[in-house]
Chains A and B, each alone.
Chain A
Amino acid sequence: MNYKNILIILIFFIFPNKSFGLIEVDITRGNLNPLPIAISSLSSDISTKNELLKLLKVQDVGLEISKVIENNFRQSGLFNPLNKDSFLQKPDIAHLKPRFEDWSLIKAQALITGKVTYSEDKLRVEFRLWDVLAAKEMMALAFTTVPKNWRRVGHIISDKVYERLTGEKGYFDTRIIFVSEKGPKTQRIKKLAIMDQDGFNTKYLTLGNELVLTPRFNPTNQMVTYLSYFRNLPRVYLLDIETGIQEVVGDFPGMTFAPRFSPNGKKIIMSFAMDGNSDIYTMDLENRIVERITNHPSIDTSPSYSPDGKFITFNSDRSGYQQIYIMKSDGSDVKRISFGKGLYGTPVWSPRGDLIAFTKLHKGKFYIGVMRTDGKGERLLTENYYQEAPSWSPNGRVLIFYRETKTDSKGEGFSAKLWSIDLTGYNERLVETETDASDPSWSSLLSN
């Protein structure tokens, strides 16, 4: 076993998924009745607290982990984390055996308790999920990791609880790659940046010397493909996040752009523009073979594979205006699927396979929406002055996108921010970033 690569090791399961909890969160209806959940601070003894304070400069890691979980759940819109001030039972005692009457008194339906210990340079975090009404333990897990990963432990616990209560995989132990923006609108400085899904641990991957756009993760989240104007030659690049090594993808005599990975990560699909015409190409990363997928005098761009790799959705103006098309992955059987009023762009296939998210421009407004892969069942989730480029959470329940503001009469007041919205159209949230931000792309789950 390669311990270096496995940062977090699951060490034991106590009664996984065995009890019959009464609580269940219906994920398909939006946040109409968020589940009241009490997230107790994870307890730790004095020596653990002192050691971790020295090491991490964090006063009480157990409390902070519980806040990570709380924030994730609040953002999800499906849960209503209760105020800790109302909690009657102390964290260490609650973790051993909650007094369920105390928790139901404050209307909690679920309770999370836990314990943090530190020994031999390792952080050990255990937690339990309790069904307050049924007065039962629903789940108990423990993790051992290096101390600096404490926020990730919070995310992993969030995912485990989310999965236990909704029946679907979570999306909290994930990262967002995006473009960090600064400066006046006419001369934006753009850098590649990566952060945890909740906006923490931002790292900048480029210096801002050249324009960079549209970064996207590969399925294992170790590589990123993006567009860079390095030496004023706009080309698709491949970046290894850990080593920092980057290379141009292919040897094209013109601009390549709009890159994405194939679902198995072996190919990059992108547009290549030449003599005023953009077509879709793939390059195999192993044997470097380039294949032309579309051959049409119109603009063909923004390609995105179906999760099984058999189909591609893309954007084309072959009908005269931007519309969404699908085709087989070899480029055959091209079909237009968007027929509503307005222009359609940035199609992106859901990880569940059943929907395509898109940007729509109609009567001067921009919408983020979804439609089925046959183009039927169009639903617009959000309307604004300018927004585009949705990216799916790995469980296909949430979309992240960016939104730009209208400038005032002096051309000032421009900003670009990341936003997320549930597939239900509820729970629109600003995703906090250190700087202005655009072109977000969601990673897959980092653990499992």
Chain B
Amino acid sequence: MILGRNYKNIFLVILMSLVLSACATQTKKVDGQMQGDVYTGTDTVEYLADGVPDRVFFATNESVLTTASRETLRKQAAWLRKNSDVTVVLEGHADERGTREYNLALGERRANAAKDYLMTYGISSNRISVISYGKERPVDSGSNPLAWSKNRRSVTVKAN
């Protein structure tokens, strides 16, 4: 009887943990792509060098760098310091949910946020140029929040 009870409990525990882990993987799936509305996935990310992601992502209408973005830019700065002959273009982009002209300005503001951060980590401004594409060059043609989050970005591109 005692044994049987114990088995019951064990069975329950196993069931519960199964349910919980199912929940965890499900939320993780969403969390893994976006935090708030900032893209945190890696689908579209390319690499300037091993471990140096080329882009950072922004919240809707924002140009504030997230903790993750700052980490990415510190890696870029370190790579640029090591490769002192490299110059880069920062390409600022917006999602499709804004007017064209405002988005051009917003893309410019985002690329400059990234530029400013690189400069505080010792990269000279004459190695960095900035261009905004507004909403003209999305990476994801979807019309959904995840696609928009991938498109709100500043991409560091090697210029030479």
Binding site for B on A (CB under 8 A): 184-188, 211, 213-214, 227, 232, 234, 254-255, 257-258, 271, 273, 275-278, 299, 301-302, 315, 317, 321-322, 345-346, 359, 361, 364, 385-386, 388-389, 404, 406-407, 409, 411-412, 414, 439
Do the beta carbons of A276 and B108 come within 8 Å of each other? Answer: yes
Determine if A407 and B101 form an interchain contact, defined as CB atoms under 8 angstroms apart.
no
Option from A254, A346, A385 in Cβ contact (under 8 Å) with B101? A346
Say whether B10 faces chain A, with CB atoms less than 8 Å apart.
no
Among A273, A321, A389, contact of B99 (Cβ-Cβ < 8 Å): A389
Over the window 93-111 of chain B, the binary record of Cβ atoms lying under 8 Å from chain A Cβ atoms (1 yes, 0 no) is 0001111111011101101
Top 8 nearest A-B pairs (CB, nearest first) are A276-B112, A345-B99, A411-B141, A185-B141, A278-B105, A406-B143, A299-B105, A258-B101
Q: Which stretch, B15-23, B46-54, B132-140, touches the partner chain A? A: B132-140
- A387 CB to nearest chain B CB (Å): 10
Min Cβ gap B51→A in Å is: 27
* Cβ–Cβ < 8 Å partners of A361 in chain B: 97-99
CB within 8 A of A257: which of B61, B97, B101, B116?
B101
Bound Cα distance A317, B60 (Å): 14
Residues of B with Cβ closer than 8 Å to A? 61, 63, 96-102, 104-106, 108-109, 111-113, 116, 130-133, 136-143, 147
Find the residue from A271, A273, A345 having the highest chain B CB count within 10 A.
Answer: A273
> Are B99 and A211 in contact, with the CB atoms below 8 A?
no
Partner of A277 from B109, B131, B137 at Cβ < 8 Å: B109
Which one of B96, B97, B105, B133 lies within 8 Å of A271 (CB-CB)? B105
Residues of chain B lying within 8 A (CB to CB) of residue A322: 98-99, 102
In the assembled complex, the CB of B41 is this many whole angstroms from the nearest CB of chain A, namely: 16
A214-B100, A214-B101, A234-B131 in contact; A407/B109 too (CB < 8 A)? no
Q: Are B101 and A185 neighbours in the complex by a CB distance under 8 Å?
A: no
Q: Choose among A301, A404, A439 the residue that contacts B102 (Cβ–Cβ < 8 A).
A: A301
B137–A186 touching, CB < 8 Å:
yes
Contact of B109 (CB < 8 Å), options: A276, A315, A406? A276
Known: A276-B112, A345-B99, A411-B147. A186 touches B138 (CB 8 A): yes
Q: Which residues of A contact B143 (CB under 8 A)?
A: 385, 406-407, 411
Q: How far is the CA of A289 from the CA of B132 in the complex (A)?
A: 26
Q: State A406–B97 Cα separation when bound (angstroms).
A: 11
Other A-B pairs beyond A214-B100, A361-B98, A411-B143, 9, CB < 8 Å: A234-B104, A255-B132, A271-B105, A278-B105, A299-B106, A321-B61, A322-B98, A389-B99, A412-B141
Chain A contacts for B96, CB-based, 8 A = 386, 404
Q: Which of B100, B105, B131, B138 contacts A185 (CB 8 A)?
A: B138
Q: CA separation between A317 and B99, bound complex, in Å?
A: 13
Can you identify 6 A-B contacts, CB atoms within 8 angstroms?
A188-B136, A211-B133, A255-B131, A276-B109, A322-B102, A385-B143
What B residues does A184 contact at CB under 8 A? 141
Evaluate contact between A407 and B142: CB separation under 8 angstroms.
yes
Taking A299-B109, A302-B99 as contacts, is the C-beta distance between A273 and B141 under 8 angstroms?
no
Q: Report chain B residues within 8 Å CB of A411.
A: 140-143, 147
